[in-house]
Amino acid sequence: MAIGWYPGHMNKARKEIIHALKQVHAVIEVVDARLPYSSENPLLNELAGDKPVLKILNKADLAEDNLTKEWNAYYRDLGKTTLVLSAKSTNYIKRQILDKILDIASHGKPPLKVMIVGIPNVGKSTLINNLAGTKIAKTGNEPAVTKGQQIIRLGDDVHLVDTPGILWPKIEDQESAFRLAVSGAIKNTAIELEDIALYALEFMAEKHPDRLVSRYDIDVIGEEPARVLEAIGKLRGCLKKGGVDFHKAAEIVLNDIRSVKLGPLTFESPLDIKIFQEKPEQTS
């Protein structure tokens, strides 16, 4: 199953971002700490040009601490300005973000206009509401909640330009596409849940088999993902005429991952980038 998701409003959002970038002093890019590489928008580097960028690794409380540290070090080695945030972050984070923006956009004169971008479901709207101190941006557990652009004043020094979360028109790396789907960045209605759950179970069996055993009380060592999903379905009562309802079983697995019932997870490391970049190009 090849994954691609680019609703019509995202094409409009891309055009809006190109126009708005001409008017801003800096950019805040919000990525998911569980999959920093896959949740980057590769169009941003092309579109932002020489605009200074603050990269925020968000949802760090859902990710594995040791790998978040690796990612933070990786980006800093590339000369990028970074900040790690989580749901546990409190109001002092606002000052940290503003200080970093004022630092990297020091060539501009206040009020600085700063665009905040991020693909769907990286927690961008929640972050905006925390910065503004009130519920300005609409939030939700489903991706693509923000549909239009708005400007938010963060005091006299910084004005924030919010944009809809956008994915790129074609997701070249299907490994990244599956990781995005597992995290919830792509709507369930745009994917085959069973395929995504099987991918997730294969990942869990390789990286954290003990968590699967603890959560579902099943033997996963050496088992095919389909057999593991079938066992979970039977244990959780996902039955229909003729056998297991794999769709319902898949929903349980993905919901458990997204709600951290299987513990904090990071789906990729900086080493994965190197492996992907060293892959020979596919020819048609």
Domains of the chain from N-terminus onward: 8-162 (3.40.50.300), 192-276 (1.10.1580.10)
- DSSP label at residue 73: H
282 phi/psi in degrees, rounded to 5: -75, 140
Distance of CA 92 to the CA centre of its chain: 23
CA distance to 63, 84, 86, 123, per residue, from 90 (Å): 18, 12, 9, 15
pTM of the model: 0.85
Q: Which residues contact 217 (CB under 8 A, 6 or more apart)?
A: 235
Instruction: Supply the pLDDT for residue 187.
Output: 78
CB 262 within 8 A of CB 210: no
What b/e readout covers 209-241, taking b as 16+ CB neighbours within 10 angstroms? bebbeebbeeebeebebeebbbbbbeebebeee
Instruction: Supply the pLDDT for residue 231.
Output: 95
Q: In angstroms, rounded to a whole number, what is the distance separating the alpha carbons of residues 165 and 148?
A: 10
Instruction: Supply the pLDDT for residue 268.
Output: 95
Q: Which run of H or of E encompasses 16?
A: helix 8-21
Q: In angstroms, rounded to a whole number, what is the distance separating the alpha carbons of residues 187 and 172?
A: 18
Q: In angstroms, rounded to a whole number, what is the distance separating the alpha carbons of residues 167 and 191?
A: 15
Q: Would you say the C-alpha torsion 106, 83, 81, 150 has a positive or negative sign?
A: negative
Q: Which residues contact 247 (CB under 8 A, 6 or more apart)?
A: 193, 194
Q: In angstroms, rounded to a whole number, what is the distance separating the alpha carbons of residues 106 and 101?
A: 8
Instruction: Supply the pLDDT for residue 43.
Output: 74
Q: What is the mean pLDDT of each run of 10 residues along the chain (284 residues)?
A: 57 70 89 93 77 94 96 94 82 82 84 86 84 67 50 84 62 82 83 93 95 92 92 95 94 96 96 70 45
Q: In angstroms, rounded to a whole number, what is the distance separating the alpha carbons of residues 238 and 252?
A: 9
